[in-house]
Amino acid sequence: MKAILSCVISFLLPVALLAQKTPVLFQKVRVFDGVKVISETDVLIENGRIKEIGPNLPAGGARVVNGAGKTLLPGLIDAHVHVHGAEALEQALLFGVTTELDMMMSPRLEYELKSTDKDDRAAFFSAGFPATVPGGHGTEYGLEIPTLILPSDAEAFVESRIREGSDYIKIMYTAGVQIPRMGPRLAITLGNERPTLSKDTLAALIAAAHKNHRLAVVHIGSEEGARNAILADADGLAHLFHGSSSHRDFGEMVAEHHAFVIPTLSVLYSVCGPDSGGGKLVKDPLLAPFLSHEARSRLKEVFPSSRTNLVSCKAAPEALRQLKAAGALIVAGTDAPNPGTTYGASLHGELAMYVEDGLTPTEALVAATSAPAQAFHMPDRGRIAPGLRADLLLVNGDPDEDIKATRDIVAVYKAGVELERKHR
Ligand SMILES: [Zn+2]
């Protein structure tokens, strides 16, 4: 058995290594390096890494890619998804999303996927099980998850998650959230809040995460919840919030506490609608051919509340502009695959929403590249710089001028390996 196994490995290894070892030279290409635009330069990648950036690099034995009319970007990062299987990571990569940050999945699936990484899947990190109370947010999806109530249980809870493989700690905190419910005769009303963690347990969980050198990312659903989480020392918020307005000092408060925010407008607008973004993405000829049947129907879905006036969308774009004005760290994320969203394609929609709501295209690109790398302490990606992973996205046009150019994908590279991009 051992002999057969080593034979298989020696057969497979050279092919994989060959793909990684073929250097590629992008010639005379526009580059968005994760922070700024370089109007024309060369980029050489080798052994899965970015080797050199500069004008007129010698081709040597590299395969040359003509960069005229194209822009090279760091592979995109979606900082809020739920990975339900290998297909999620495959679809993300098809759309140039080279890293997915999962915000709740079973540790068993996390382990399975991490131990079978493949070139045609986006890389991912995961929160594993989130911290929540019995009956709280996160317990309603049919996944049996551990819960806690008391601050004194926080440390043991966090340590268990880390043993299971959690890369960061996700905390569900739904204070101030009213849940839209189907009432009698199919009328939708706002019902009582779901049970949630106390402020003390929230603070104890965040402290326990920090003691164990992990980030604490908090799910919130109201401005009140967002403020409590920031005051409790959360590193980041997994969402912006619904409501009719955002208090003037919200952005400054986030910036003062050096926290980051993952707006997830894709899912928020699918709740407060009626014009959620998913339906538009299905019709985009640059995205549609790469969407599976399931992804298309997911994008066309909306939450029932979007057909009512119960939940206002106004607070989120207002808060986004406040974050921008205050210089707070905005980190792009979609919350795929919630209704109205899907892996990969929705990140392009999310970036367009940021621009519609007041960010410049370059600020939107930062939010999906160097900002998540900074927020989640991933120094090996999110920028085009020597020594970093060759996670790259090559597109036609200038996405720093027209954000929708991110969808006009020419090629996707994961750790230097070009993806074979096929229609679904
Ligand atoms: Zn989520």
Residue 423 C-alpha to ligand 1 middle, in angstroms?
Answer: 28
Give tens-digit pLDDT for 347-394.
999 999 999 999 999 999 999 999 999 999 999 999 999 999 999 999
pLDDT digits (tens, 9 = 90+) for 331-352: 999 999 999 999 999 999 999 9
Q: What is the mean pLDDT of the chain?
A: 92
Q: Residue 153, class by beta-carbon neighbours within 10 Å (0-12 exposed, 13-18 middle, 19+ buried)?
A: middle
Inter-axis angle of helices 199-211 and 223-231, nearest 10: 50
In angstroms, what is the span from residue 41 Cα to ligand 1's centroid?
38
No. of helices (H) and no. of strands (E), the chain: 14, 18
Share of the chain above pLDDT 70, in %: 92
Report CA(138)–ligand 1 centroid distance (Å): 9
Distance 248 CA to ligand 1 centre (A): 26
Q: For residue 130, which of 100, 155, 107 has the smallest C-alpha distance?
A: 107
CA dist., res. 419 & res. 351, Å (int): 23
Residue 257 C-alpha from the chain's centroid: 22
Q: What mean pLDDT comes out for the span 18-24?
A: 73
CA of 237 to the centre of ligand 1 (A): 11
Q: How far is the CA of 263 from the centre of ligand 1 (A)?
A: 11
CA of 198 to the centre of ligand 1 (A): 20
**What predicted TM-score, i.e. pTM, was given to this entire model?**
0.94
Quote the ligand 1 centre to 238 CA distance (angstroms): 7
Cis peptide before 180 (omega within 30 of 0): no
CA of 269 from ligand 1 middle (Å) equals 14
Q: What is the 34 CA–ligand 1 centroid distance (Å)?
A: 25
Question: Given this model, what pLDDT does residue 189 score?
Answer: 63
**Alpha helices by DSSP H, 336-407:** 345-356, 361-367, 370-375
CA distance 11 to 27: 33
Which pLDDT band holds residue 12 (cuts at 50, 70, 90)? very low
The rounded Å distance from CA 383 to ligand 1 centre is: 25
Query: Separation of 79 CA from ligand 1 center, angstroms?
Result: 10
Model confidence at 2, pLDDT cuts 50, 70, 90, reads very low
Predicted confidence (pLDDT) per residue in 179-222, tens digit: 766 665 556 666 667 899 999 999 999 999 999 999 999 999 99
CA distance 295 to 289: 11
Report the distance separating Cα 313 and Cα 332, nearest Å. Answer: 18
* Strands 409-414 vs 417-418: parallel, antiparallel or unpaired: antiparallel
Share of the chain above pLDDT 90, in %: 85
CA of 264 to the centre of ligand 1 (A): 9
Please give the distance, rounded to the nearest whole angstrom, from the Cα atom of residue 339 to the centre of ligand 1.
Answer: 11
Mapped onto helix, strand or coil, the DSSP state of residue 364 is helix
pLDDT at 329: 98
Q: So what's the pLDDT on residue 187?
A: 60
Q: How far is the CA of 129 from the centre of ligand 1 (A)?
A: 12
Angle of helix 265-272 relative to helix 315-326, nearest 10 degrees, comes to 150
Is residue 115 packed enough to be buried (19+ CB in 10 Å), middle (13-18) or exposed (0-12)?
exposed
Distance CA 340, CA 356 (A): 18
Ligand 1 mean position to 39 CA, how many Å? Answer: 37
- Ligand 1 center to residue 8 CA distance, Å? 40
Distance, in Å, from the CA atom of 223 to the CA atom of 202, rounded to the nearest integer, reads 16
State the distance from the centre of ligand 1 to the C-alpha of 335, rounded, in angstroms: 5
In Å, how far are 76, 166, 343, 373 from 125, measured between CA atoms? 14, 8, 15, 12
Q: Which of 12-26, 60-74, 127-141 has the lowest mean pLDDT?
A: 12-26
Supply the pLDDT for residue 273.
80
- Provide the 3-class DSSP secondary structure of residue 66: strand
